[in-house]
Amino acid sequence: MFFLYVIVSALYLSPSPPFPPAPPSQPLLQRYPSTRTLPPVLIMASLIKAPSSVFPSEKLQSVSRGKTRHRSIPKKAAFRLVPVALSLSMSTGTAEHDQKSNLPDIPIPIMVNSSTGKMGKAVIKAADSAGLHIVPVSFGSEKASGQTVEVCGKEILVQGPSERESILASVFQDYPNLIVVDYTVPGTVNENAELYCKVGVPFVMGTSGGDRDRLYKTVEESKVYAVVSPQMGKQVVAFLAAMEIMAEQFPGAFSGYSLQVMESHQASKLDTSGTAKAVNSCFQKLGVSFDMGQIQMIRDPKQQIEMVGVPEEHLSGHAFHLYHLTSPDQTVSFEFQHNVCGRSIYAEGTVDAVLFLAKKVKSKADKRTYNMIDVLREGNMR
């Protein structure tokens, strides 16, 4: 389930608030009960002018976990709150419409690395549903080498780090239209990208982390077709694009405002959210002074349930983000919130990226390096 809430609160002096302030431990989604009954305001923002730099080589300050400041979102003042809510919600379940409407006559072969991980399996399921051909080979860790993974009734042999180049070259020879999908770990991003580029196989890099400058340089110099994005959820990417447009057209609009950021992901996610970094970069352009080391990372399951409001069944796979802005005089506040339960939103976006990239390879497009903004602009998403 994916939710996006933008809440603007103007403070007025009043002897008593319309509802009591929420306790610090109350889940974030329950902090503004009155907004549940407000009619949603639909805002359409054109992405025609959205720059491809929403993920601009990601030249962002590295985050030191030791400097992460664990702070609660500030308590609301005991004044009357007049909330204006903008809301968007959607289910990230499998779409009911025809998933194969945009596919070529011959199924596109894809090799998913790593197929043993939860994200890899989610991509395989989405790709199989879309009619893509799952290559029965996948790269994994040394520990997983030699294992056979069964997903959607298909057996996939996991290959370890040794002899990866010769194995990939052989697979590419057998499947000339091959596209590799990478959902491995941050520590192998650069090594994997260099391998794909050396062999010359097009790829979709959904793994976050690594040296992003080095990653983009590797891809650009190799002239290999690739979609590189730390965020594959199409709707979240559209939100990021809208933030980038606002930052470019209204620089300094939030000068003087303070910002607090909280992001919660499954405990297995070791790095700080790339999405949170991208959004914070936009806020910096809008005039907010904020250090990336101030991002509050929540990885403890108990805190995720009690403080963030993550459903227990999604502790192993979720992405909850909250950005809270406060004016210098504490009389105005803004909140931007987007919550994702599960992985299907990323898996479906990845399939769209594969279809997009296959089209670019077939047409021999001059541009070789793309991101999810390019995929959105194409307008052929399922």
Tokens of 172: 């590419």
Model confidence at 93, in pLDDT bands (50, 70, 90)? very low
Question: How confident is the model at residue 105, as a pLDDT?
Answer: 58
What pLDDT score was predicted for residue 99?
41
What is the arithmetic mean of pLDDT over 228-238?
A: 92
Count CB atoms within 10 A of the CB of residue 67: 11
Q: What is the mean pLDDT of residues 225-253?
A: 95
pLDDT tier at 246 (50, 70, 90 boundaries)?
A: very high
Question: 133 falls in which pLDDT band (50, 70, 90)?
Answer: very high
- What's the pLDDT score for residue 230? 83
* Residue environment code for 259-293, b if the CB has 16+ CB neighbours within 10 A, otherwise e: bbbbbbbbeebebbbbbbbbbbbbbbbbebebebe
Please give the structure tokens belonging to residue 354.
């594969």
Give the model's confidence band at 188: pLDDT under 50 very low, under 70 low, under 90 confident, else very high.
very high
- Mark out the alpha helices in 103-233 (DSSP H runs): 118-129, 164-174, 189-199, 212-222
Mind listing the pLDDT tens digit for each residue in 264-307?
999 988 888 989 999 999 999 999 999 999 999 999 999 999 99
Which residues contact residue 145 at a Cβ distance below 8 angstroms, ignoring those fewer than 6 apart? Answer: 158, 159, 160, 161, 162
Mean pLDDT taken over the chain: 79
Query: How much is the average pLDDT of 258-266?
Result: 96
Q: What is the CA radius of gyration of the chain?
A: 22
Contact between 240 and 278 under an 8 Å Cβ cutoff? The reply is yes
Identify the pLDDT of residue 1.
55
Q: Which sequence positions are flagged as catalytic?
A: 265, 269
Between helix 344-363 and helix 234-249 the angle, nearest 10°, is 80
DSSP letter for 62, please: P
Q: Write out pLDDT tens, residues 13-56.
A: 334 333 333 444 444 444 433 333 333 333 333 333 444 444 44
Minimal CA–CA distance to 312: which of 302, 321, 297?
302
Confidence (pTM): 0.70
> Any idea of the CA torsion for 327, 238, 250, 282, to the nearest 10 degrees?
60
The pLDDT-based confidence of 114 (bands split at 50, 70, 90) is: confident
pLDDT mean over 156-179: 95
Give residue 255's pLDDT: 97
Rounded to the nearest 10 degrees, what angle do helices 274-285 and 234-249 cross at? 20
36-40, 70-74, 315-319, 341-345: segment of lowest average pLDDT: 36-40
Does residue 370 or residue 93 have the better pLDDT?
370
Mean pLDDT to the nearest integer, 75-89 = 35
